[in-house]
Amino acid sequence: LVRLRARLSRSQNSLGKGLLTLLSREHLDEDTWEEIEDTLLTADVGVAPTQDLVERLRERVRVLGTRTPQDLRALLREELLTLVGTDMDRTVHTETRGAVDRPGVALVVGVNGTGKTTTTGKLARVLVADGKSVVLAAADTFRAAAADQLETWGKRVGARTVRGPEGGDPASVAFDAVKQGTEAGADVVLIDTAGRLHTKTGLMDELGKVKRVVEKQGPVDEVLLVLDATTGQNGLVQARVFAEVVDITGIVLTKLDGTAKGGIVVAVQRELGVPVKLVGLGEGADDLAPFEPEAFVDALVG
Ligand code: GDP
């Protein structure tokens, strides 16, 4: 696991710095508040959260009177933390719930290209490093390359991959993986699914079926939605579609290394009412970090 703050500071810093510079202006006139609003919107914070924050900042700056740089930094840090949320359960639940005699099961969903398979591989690595035995399920049976990619990750991190015939039934691959994981006494099964969004109905049917079939063997412990942080509003539209099909329990925001638009954390949490639990910070095996609001806000404010 990489240190979140160190890896984020370069790409995210501009948001906090920009806000601090604007808040430090001698005259906080309407134009300045508009610039503050634009800065937040440009960073993908989203309209409603931006308006909330600006309103609170206005009030607090008014009460503050004199504005020292330290005061402003502390104030901004506090408000951004409130916005990001410090009281959500950000644990990735991979332990079996209840008295079910089978591994913990996590479903990984999202549009193709967002980083689903890479995230599944990275997460497997974290779990294996934690002493867990992990089985990977290649439930994207439509792209042979996707199953190959997952299997490569499996070999790399020390996890067995269960796959089916090309074009086969994704739900049966998921079912088999859980069955084999149970027989082998594995701790966790991670199911990598397909995400062809252009066939929305097909996707709904398929994902819903994967979940139902797995649930015959016990509850799914975590449903992670993988979102590409660089896709902005598009990502939010995708998120909504997936949330209609399955109950998302956590969000993984990938490619946060390649964008200064960290505000998407706030927007997507608000949209789905689900916490960001993990962030992707690069293509490498170790480039996955738990999402820590304090470290994230520190990286923003610099
Ligand atoms: P999938 O189709 O959703 O399974 O997506 P992949 O896992 O194949 O990832 C698509 C591309 O995004 C690959 O080139 C990955 O290496 C890259 N990728 C995934 N996660 C990250 C990340 O956190 N940062 C960066 N920079 N690239 C990533």
pTM of the predicted structure, to 2 decimals: 0.94
Cα–Cα distance for residue pair 36/41, rounded to 1 Å: 9
Q: What does the mean pLDDT of the chain come to?
A: 91
The side-by-side arrangement of strands in the sheet containing 276-280 is 160-162, 134-138, 188-192, 104-109, 222-228, 250-254, 276-280, 288-290
* Mean pLDDT score, 174-202: 89
Tell me how far the alpha carbon of residue 273 lies from the centroid of ligand 1, in angstroms: 25
Q: Give percent of the chain with pLDDT exceeding 70.
A: 96
pLDDT at 229: 94
* Mean pLDDT score, 207-235: 92
Tokens of 284: 């490498």
pLDDT at 1: 47
Residue to mutate, 227, 283, 286, 291, ligand 1, most ligand atoms under 8 Å from C-beta: 283
Kindly state if the Cβ of 112 falls inside 6 Å of ligand 1: yes
* Mean pLDDT score, 284-301: 92
Kindly state if the Cβ of 154 falls inside 6 Å of ligand 1: no
Tell me how far the alpha carbon of residue 254 lies from the centroid of ligand 1, in angstroms: 7
* Mean pLDDT score, 92-109: 88
* Mean pLDDT score, 91-111: 89
* Mean pLDDT score, 128-135: 97
Kindly state if the Cβ of 120 falls inside 6 Å of ligand 1: no
* Mean pLDDT score, 24-43: 94
Surface-to-core class of residue 180, CB atoms within 10 Å of its CB (0-12 exposed, 13-18 middle, 19+ buried):
middle
The residue among 182, 178, 185, 126 whose CA lies nearest residue 157 is 126
Residue to mutate, 117, 118, 257, ligand 1, most ligand atoms under 8 Å from C-beta: 118
Tell me how far the alpha carbon of residue 240 lies from the centroid of ligand 1, in angstroms: 21
Which atom, in ligand 1's list, is nearest to the CA of 282? 24
Phi and psi at 254, nearest 5°, equal -95, 165
Longest dimension (CA), the chain: 69
The residue among 238, 200, 249 whose CA lies nearest residue 97 is 249
| Per-residue pLDDT at 212 exceeds 60 | yes
- Whether residue 239 contacts residue 195, with contact meaning beta carbons closer than 8 Å, is answered with no
- Whether residue 222 contacts residue 106, with contact meaning beta carbons closer than 8 Å, is answered with yes
Model confidence band, residue 67 (pLDDT cutoffs 50, 70, 90): confident
